[in-house]
Amino acid sequence: MGLFESDDLPRVVPPTAKIRGFDGAIALGDWGEVFVQLKLIEAGYPCVRTSFGHSRSDLYWVMPLQRPLRVQVKATETVKQPGARSKLAQYSFPTDIVHGEFDVAVFVARDIGIGAWMFGHEIGGSVTLGPPGTPHTGKTKYGNIDQFPIERIIEEYNGD
């Protein structure tokens, strides 16, 4: 008899205690990792989450005839509107990224469900990206969040 066939296990676990710090909503970082994992699966690539506190990379992305790519994911809730510090709306991603510990970084905006897929060597310090369609004026170092699709990474590693 298998573990889940045993009558000794309860079929429903009653909520007897609330988990401290958990209000039922998925944490932003976890949401970002699952979002990226889904995008990889939709593109036809297997991937595995690794971030359970033991790795600097959040995912391993398996590409044909390649070693697994180490993926770092950063997520933000919403665009920051123009104000005293910035004259443009922008997505801001403070990073603690350590170079050499990942191959690809994905910066995800939860409010619009778009990720910017970048190579590890392209990242330096914090990352700010404009919303889609924002004229690039050089105020954001990288451009707009929709200018970095997953296809650019796939093409590089597949040799297309």
pLDDT for 16 = 45
Distance of alpha carbon 37 from the chain centroid: 8
Residue 32, amino acid? G
Q: How far apart are CA 98 and CA 11, in angstroms?
A: 44
- Model pTM? 0.78
- Tokens standing for residue 2: 């298998």
The domain locations on the chain are: 25-158
Contact yes or no for 131/92 (Cβ under 8 A)? no
Contact yes or no for 64/46 (Cβ under 8 A)? no
What is the third-level CATH fold of 25-158? Trna Endonuclease; Chain: A, domain 1 (3.40.1350)
Give every residue of the chain whose pLDDT is below 70, as ranges.
1-26, 51-56, 84-86, 136-140, 159-160
pLDDT for 118 = 94
Contacts 24+ apart (CB under 8 A), 30-39: 31/75, 31/110, 32/73, 32/74, 32/75, 32/106, 32/108, 32/110, 33/58, 33/59, 33/73, 35/73, 35/75, 35/108, 35/110, 35/113, 35/115, 36/71, 36/73, 36/106, 36/108, 36/115, 39/115, 39/150
